Structure 1
Amino acid sequence: MLDIRALIERVGPTLLRTVILPESTDCVGDVVIAEPEQPPRAAQGDLVLGVAVRGSGQAAALARDCGAEGAAALLLKPPLSGDPAVVAAAQEAGIALVEVRAGTAWAQLVWLIRAALAGTATQETDTRGPPLGDLFRLADAVADVVDAPVTIEDAHSQVLAYSARQDLTDPARISTIMGRKQPDDVLAKFRARGTFRQLSKGRSAIFVPAQGDGTLPRLVVPIRMGGELLGSMWAVVPGEVSEERSTAFADTAPLVALQLLRWRAVADAERQRSAEQVRQLLEGGERWRTAATELAVSQDPHRVVALGVSASAEQAEGHRLAIWEWITRGVGRRPLVTEIGNVLYALVPDRPGQGGWPVLRAALTASEDEPKPLVAVGTAVGVADLARSRAEADELLALLRAGQVRKRVAVYEDLWHLLVLSRMAGASTDAGVASLGPLPLLREHDRDQGTEYLSTLHAWLRHPGDPRTASRDLRVHPNTFRYRMKRITQLVDVDLDDADVRAALLVQLLAERWAQHG
């Protein structure tokens, strides 16, 4: 337990200065925020913070009330802390009067005092994960200052922390905390009121009146560091808030910004570590077992999802934000992802329910967000075979980028036959298959005479014995198709009745077409 002297020494003279200190002081109990024109709800040994005190008369009356309630000290900012009437009232009440340095955020002071009382002022947060505990404690301190439940959110309206007090709430706050994100319909209403536009421009607290659907009023403050908007704080309030409390709420933003930067640095380091382990899983090799163990990957079959990120430096960040939103919506807040080159990979369990591939597929297919990434999905495999699923996803992504698949989401089971053709085309090109047989002569005739004998032969091979369907593919009259086939047999010596000859010609033509589009 600490008395006033020890507490001031631990919190530090840069924030607190003793104005009056009785000879004997009690051990400090807790921190209490004084309500304007009301006796403080203080117990023996509590510290009372005059957050919303106006004028020396109100401050002097508060000092006398503190003495009557048995409080240990009254904390005020200048000039009230040095006002003669206030000093005299504190001396008469027999309490300590402590000056809070101008510019100190009240929430910062609450946070530090409680940390000092708990003996944690110098303890470091566990470095194995983001210091969210600090953010939750800070949310509690901010809630005390503004006298309202508080949430701390990042720039994408994801909830990072919220205060313990729930005395004033509504369905929107409950949904926000339960879903760890403001619901889309709630966001839409605040956007329609211009709340987010105001957040993007200013630094002061914004009051949002109650809405017709039962959403209670909000006091919102942007969290900035330099020119960057890191997030925002939302307090559910019963109505208009005094200027003093509104200012005190806004004054906490720099402190929260520092904590958000610290949280982001730790979170980024954790993501990088996770991304490296996912990369080891995708590449196979000797270290995949260790990576799977550290990531706690389940033994369920998984799919590798490859998402194309724009190669343009100006557009890449927009793609990443859209992609991350889709993945977190379908897989969860901490998906297993890594980026290699300009491809973002995600490991997705091939099972129904939240976090599984069917949910993510539905989210990817239904999304109307811009920009839309190309998505290629390998087959479901065990953890030891993830490198194979990644290879399939890479091949499908290459087909999507080349325009050979006219979809945005390509799944292995739906398009495996295209992978067969793609691999066959590559192998045939490497083996020089295109130079064999009668095709070189037909190719030369098409080039010199402007004929279309190669495409005609391809249509005939695809629809043997069905000249009407073949001619429809070529968009010519059936008689024109028959004439072309007759000319082909006159130009080259080829036995089209031989099944092996037909198969060889089809392989050559398919390889040539895929090579042209590859």
Structure 2
Amino acid sequence: MAESGRAITVRELTDALDTAIARPADEQYADTVVASVALVDGAELAADATDSPDRTGASGGHVPDVVLHVGVRDDEARAWLVALAGRDRTRRPRVVLSKTSAPSVRSAASEAGIALVEVHPRARWDHVFPQVQRLLDRSRRAGAPDAPDLLAADTDLFDLARTVARNAGGMVSIEDEASRVLAHSPSDETADELRTLSILGREGPRDYLRVLHRWGVYDRLRTSDEVVDVPAHAELATKRRLVVGIHEPVEDAPRMLGSIWLQQGEGPFAPDAADVLRGAAAIAARIIVRSRNAPSTEELLIQRLFGLRGEGVDVPSLAGALNLPQSGPVAVLGFATSGPSGSDVTGRVGSVLRLHASAFRRDSVTTMPGERAYVLLPGYASEQAVAAWTRQLVGALEETRGVVLRAAIATGVAELGDVAAARAEVDRVLDGTAATGPEGRVTTLAESRTAVLLGEILDLIAARPELQDPRVDALAEYDRGHGGELRRSTAAYLAAHGDVRAAAGRLRVHPNTLRYRLRRAESVTGLDLSDSADRLLLEIQLAIRERLEETSPRSSRR
């Protein structure tokens, strides 16, 4: 997951992250330059710490300059740092961002010559990681020839926040329409507790929000472009602020996208602070509209939760970001179309599926990374309720949209860290039940284990040509040369468990005709249909031939 950019110093990195999020590293590392970043979890660190000395780092290749320890325990961090101390300096990261304050970890980092930046325990990695990436990317742009002006380029909300703070005086926070912090300028010692809590939690404290509603601040922000002067509040220990609404640039019906807040610092606001805020609001609107049309960091984290972008998640941070419980049963559902391979859910009923999931569980999480869709349902009432809702949804979409879906359900998932394994399970079920009829459109691994395991066994054999019996190919060659029905007749006989009359009825031929075909099949292949081993082998081999002919190659999702 490494991202590279133009080098910046550790001091520049920690200053930009804000004192509310990260404590500065020891001064000896302040001028250390960094240009790449990666997220790693405990399992990756353990593998790296015990691997051979010529391994090139936690990422398995390029060694990132900055490593973010996501969900890493103190003992895991210490063991990894101790292992790094014995390596060449070119194969060690330069900076570690960690939520630990353990002296043993700090001491191990010092021994390894690595700067340890302590991140606030309540900070969210899905907030910190994009900021580091943004800093490196901005540094790269700044070093490019003819680098454009930040405001003219509409680069991102963090750049905008810093520019507004510099020109209007004070400290800036940019929030969405739900009062969640999207970006902010660096804080100083005059930042009040409201600002610190908002940056860490990305949402303003409820008491203050109620005061703002009572003062009519949000009504004014929604209905006009005026800059509202919000006085200090002694009881809540908040300082004076200026705020302006961000509105979508749509004629006739402008929609509020968020707001820009300017907290007063040591000195007064700049004389033209109101004009700066109004101009910034127009720029912020363009940035927000553009970003909403691009994949979000949240979506990437959701895909990581489902195991679609590598293994390992920071469960506490992700649970906080998505308002999900860290433990307790969750259900994982997978949806696929019943059409040809490659028919995708997203393009046909993706938005409807997401809406139905949200109606069933307000805290549901949905992702659609390709031809399948996955839904997470936390705190579901019962397995029966999940199955009933899924069947109703599949039926409704077929009736109203003409889209035939298949669904696989994994319930009883103990915690968010197990979601990736559950997603792999529903993929197994969807892969193994592609040919089932209407009664199998909504199923679980327990209900369809035979079909799933048999399908996986056939896939394994089909992938190894040496396990495919050439004697069975002789049946198809005979049929092509003689216009015969040996292969189809043999398959029907095996499916009828050796009952000639039943198989002949299905084929609509006389039993004696079938008996003749079976003798001819034995002659052509050299197999003995009275031998149980030969019958088993022949049935497996015929199923493999049918699978290879009727299905396209499966795309790997694991």
Question: TM-score normalised by the shorter chain: which range applies?
Answer: 0.3 to 0.5
TM-score (norm 1): 0.46
- Look at both structures and tell me which one has the larger radius of gyration over its CA atoms: 1
* TM superposition score normalised by structure 2: 0.43
